[in-house]
């Protein structure tokens, strides 16, 4: 929420956008759908930014993060059984999936992973410097077509210190839209370190990207703030580490805080669920400020070109000679189908001598 607070101070358009988005969300969630929404798949691009080889995380680690997101957002996580009995019926399948993009903004094929070597040892969440090539990071791809994820070793907030990650709510600037995660908490292998090695920092931060609020309402223990989701209990503040159920605050007994919710701050192995209300709120974002993703071509494969099969001169020398014979008189470069290349003259290429001719003046 620190990034949100800073943007409110510096961007008046963001402030008005947030007010409009919240009004839209409230109305959308209130108009309950008759049937479950269709499953939506979000194109993702992961920008890996590294200062050393050890920080250049593997494709496998990136893919492990995508797999973790799909388990968590589809209610397919293996630890669902750990949800306390009073909260089990509130656990929801958000019906949102994620996949690495296969089409880049320019229409070319992509793995959905970019890699940028940098000289920076850390990135500042207030400056958003990881999100710009000019400041040592990588520029965002169009937020209308992709969810941008950035990952690097060290992310800091100058007021708070080191961060696991941060996200931009819907309604902010396009150039900075997306989610940033430390590589120490990204995915489930490689550089990911316990207790943040189940990929759930991204699950939490992408929740913010889908307009979900912290479950405690960010009121510093006052018990007056809400996350605008009726089926999450009111709770005093964030929870850390591994609380024991029930953990009662704000008079929310006997069941207490829903600390195992992805939008709290507990360890990865202690959070297991989104609620029905949170799912509805995230889906409202997909029908409002994130609606352009529904028509993205980021997951549409680029058609492959069929190789031509032709009878060609057998040797490279013969092919070179054939090209040379097509050259204009005096030219030393010919077009080989892709670009202009230097070739030997046709005479040298074929081994024949070419005698110079002179034009004789006709006598009168």
Token code pair at residue 163: 């961060």
Closest CA to 202 of 96, 72, 111: 72
Per-residue pLDDT, averaged over 183-196, amounts to 98
User: What is the distance between the alpha carbons of residues 238 and 219, in angstroms, rounded to a whole number?
Assistant: 10
The whole-angstrom distance between residue 194's C-alpha and the CA centroid of its chain comes to 22
- Is 44 in contact with 146 (CB distance < 8 Å)? yes
List, for residues 38-97, the tens digit of each pLDDT value.
999 999 999 999 999 999 999 999 999 999 999 999 999 999 999 999 999 999 999 999
Structure tokens at 320: 């070179």
> In the chain, where are the structural domains located?
2-295, 316-346
Half-sphere exposure (Cβ direction) of 270: Cα atoms closer than 13 Å: 17
The 3-state DSSP class for residue 295 equals: helix
Q: What is the pLDDT of residue 346?
A: 52
Q: Please list the active-site residues.
A: 205
Residue 350 has pLDDT above 50, yes or no: no
How far apart, in whole angstroms, are the C-alpha atoms of residue 232 and residue 148? 28
Residue 349's pLDDT is: 45
347 pLDDT band (50/70/90 cuts)? low
Q: How far is CA 262 from CA 70, 215, 342, in A?
A: 14, 9, 62
pLDDT over 50 (residue 224): yes
Q: Give exposure, 333-342, as e/b (b: 16+ Cβ within 10 Å).
A: ebeeeeeeee
Asked if 205 and 175 touch (Cβ cutoff 8 Å), the reply is no
User: Does residue 272 surpass a pLDDT of 70?
Assistant: yes
- pLDDT by residue (tens digit) across 285-331? 999 999 999 999 999 999 988 999 999 888 888 888 888 888 877 78
Among 146-160, 175-189, 301-315, the minimum mean pLDDT is found in 301-315
**Spatial separation of the C-alpha atoms in residues 130 and 150, rounded to whole Å:** 7
| pLDDT value, residue 356 | 43
CATH classification for the domain delimited by 2-295, as one of 3.40.390.10, 3.60.15.10, 3.90.180.10, 3.40.50.970: 3.40.390.10
By the 10 Å C-beta count (0-12 exposed, 13-18 middle, 19+ buried), 112 is classed as buried
Name the residue with tokens 């070597």. 117
pLDDT for residue 236 is more than 80: yes
Cβ–Cβ under 8 Å, residues 271 and 239: no
Query: Which own/partner pairs from 78-82 qualify as long-range (CB within 8 Å, at least 24 positions apart)?
Result: 79/269, 79/272, 80/272, 80/273, 82/260, 82/272
Burial class (CB in 10 A: 0-12, 13-18, 19+), 89: exposed
Ranges of H-type helices in the chain: 2-10, 12-30, 59-73, 200-209, 276-286, 316-324, 346-350
Question: Distance (Å, rounded) from C-alpha 45 to C-alpha 148?
Answer: 5
């Amino acid at each position: 929420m620190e990034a949100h607070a800073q943007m409110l101070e510096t961007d008046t358009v963001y402030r008005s956008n947030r007010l409009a988005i919240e009004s839209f969300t409230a109305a959308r969630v209130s108009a309950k759908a008759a049937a479950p929404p269709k499953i939506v798949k979000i194109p993702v691009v992961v920008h890996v930014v590294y200062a050393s080889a050890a920080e250049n995380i593997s494709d496998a680690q990136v893919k492990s993060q995508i797999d973790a997101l799909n388990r968590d957002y589809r209610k397919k996580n293996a630890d669902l059984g750990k949800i306390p009995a009073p909260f089990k019926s509130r656990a929801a399948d958000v019906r949102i999936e994620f996949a690495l993009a296969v089409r880049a903004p320019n229409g070319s094929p992509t793995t959905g992973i970019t890699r940028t070597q940098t000289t920076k040892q850390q990135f500042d969440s207030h400056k958003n410097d990881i999100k710009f090539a000019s400041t040592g990071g990588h520029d965002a791809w169009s937020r209308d077509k992709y969810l941008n994820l950035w990952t690097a070793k060290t992310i800091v907030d100058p007021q708070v210190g080191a961060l696991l990650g941060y996200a931009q709510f819907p309604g902010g600037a396009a150039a900075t839209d997306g989610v940033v995660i430390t590589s120490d908490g990204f995915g489930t292998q490689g550089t990911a370190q316990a207790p943040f090695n189940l990929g759930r920092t991204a699950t939490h931060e992408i929740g913010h990207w889908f307009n979900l609020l912290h479950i405690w309402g960010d009121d510093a223990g006052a018990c007056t703030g809400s996350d605008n989701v009726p089926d999450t209990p009111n709770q005093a503040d964030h929870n850390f580490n591994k609380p024991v159920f029930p953990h009662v605050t704000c008079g929310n007994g006997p069941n207490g805080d829903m600390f195992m919710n992805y939008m709290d701050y507990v360890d990865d192995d202690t959070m297991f669920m989104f609620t029905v209300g949170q799912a509805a709120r995230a889906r409202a974002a997909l029908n409002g400020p994130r609606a352009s993703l529904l028509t993205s071509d980021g997951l549409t494969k680029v058609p492959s070109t069929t190789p031509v099969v032709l009878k060609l001169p057998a040797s490279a020398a013969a092919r070179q000679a054939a090209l040379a014979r097509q050259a204009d008189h005096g030219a030393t470069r010919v077009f080989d189908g892709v670009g202009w290349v230097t070739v030997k003259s046709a005479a040298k290429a074929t081994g024949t001598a070419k005698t110079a001719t002179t034009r004789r003046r006709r006598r009168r």
